[in-house]
A and B are shown apart, each in its own frame.
Chain A
Amino acid sequence: NAGVTQTPKFQVLKTGQSMTLQCAQDMNHEYMSWYRQDPGMGLRLIHYSVGAGITDQGEVPNGYNVSRSTTEDFPLRLLSAAPSQTSVYFCASSYSWVNTGELFFGEGSRLTVL
C-alpha cells in the first residue's frame, strides 16, 4: 500500500527559485494538508484542503500556494524561496475533515534554501 507519497525527499534551492513539492494519496481521503517541521517548533499547518477545489490557509501560509484539482493530489508551491523556508515538509491526509480521524503522513521532504 502506497499511502501518502511525497516527492522529492531532498531538495536544495537558491534564494528566489521556485519549486513544487508533490503529494499524492491513494486512500480516497477527503482531507489533505501540508505541515512544516522545524527544530523546537513542532508541526505547523501551512495549508489544507477538505476536498477537490477547496483549499484554506493554516497557521503559516505566507510564501506558499496550493491547489487541489483532484482528490488524490495536493501540491505545495514555493514561488520565490527564502532561507526561512528551510524546513522538513510533511503532507498528511485523513478520511474526514469533520471527525477526528487518523492523519496519515508522508515520509517528508527536506528542503534547504541557500
Chain B
Amino acid sequence: TQLLEQSPQFLSIQEGENLTVYCNSSSVFSSLQWYRQEPGEGPVLLVTVVTGGEVKKLKRLTFQFGDARKDSSLHITAAQPGDTGLYLCAGIIYGGSQGNLIFGKGTKLSVKP
C-alpha cells in the first residue's frame, strides 16, 4: 500500500505554463516535505510544511498543506526549463519520527523551451 500518492506521475509542458502537482494520503501527517531531484543527483529539500492549511512560497513555487494534514500541493507559475526534474513529496505520519519518513513515487516534470 502506497501511503503517499503523487499525481500526475509524468508532466511535460511548455515554458511559461502553470502546473500543479498533488500529494495525497488517507493518513494524517505531522509534516510534509517537498524535494526536487535532478538526474544523477540526490534529492534536495525545497520546503517543509507542518501546520494544516499552511501556504509557503519559494519564488515561483507555492506549496500548500491541506487543512486535515492528509494532502499537499505544489504549484509552479510560469514554468522554466530549469524547473525540470523529479519532484518528491515525503511525510512523517503523525506520532512518528524521521525513521518513519515515507516518500511518494514522484512526479517527473519536463519543461520544454
Contacts and interface: CB of A to CB of B under 8 A. Distances in A.
B40 A107 contact: yes
Contact of A31 (B35, B45, B92, B98): B98
Contacts of B104: 42
B42 A108 contact: yes
Contacts, number: 66
Nearest to A95: B98
A98 B98 contact: yes
Q: Which of A59, A105, A106 has the most CB of B within 10 A?
A: A105
Contacts of B88: 42-43
B98 A105 contact: no
Interface string A77-106: 000000000000010101011101111011
A108 B103 contact: no
A101 B105 contact: no
Nearest to A93: B98
Interface residues of B, number: 24
A42 to B, nearest CB: 4
A56 B35 CA distance: 24
B33 interface: yes
Interface string B78-112: 00000000001010100001110111111000000
Contacts of A92: 42
A59 B103 CA distance: 11
A40 interface: yes
Contacts of A59: 102
21 contacts: A35-B103, A42-B88, A42-B103, A42-B104, A42-B105, A50-B98, A92-B42, A96-B98, A97-B97, A100-B31, A100-B33, A100-B92, A100-B98, A102-B33, A102-B48, A103-B35, A103-B101, A105-B42, A105-B44, A107-B40, A107-B41
Interface of A: 4, 31, 33, 35, 40-45, 48, 50, 56, 58-59, 90, 92, 94, 96-98, 100-103, 105-108
Interface of B: 30-31, 33, 35, 40-45, 48, 50, 88, 90, 92, 97-99, 101-106
* Leading 3 A-B pairs by shortest Cβ distance: A105-B42, A42-B105, A100-B31
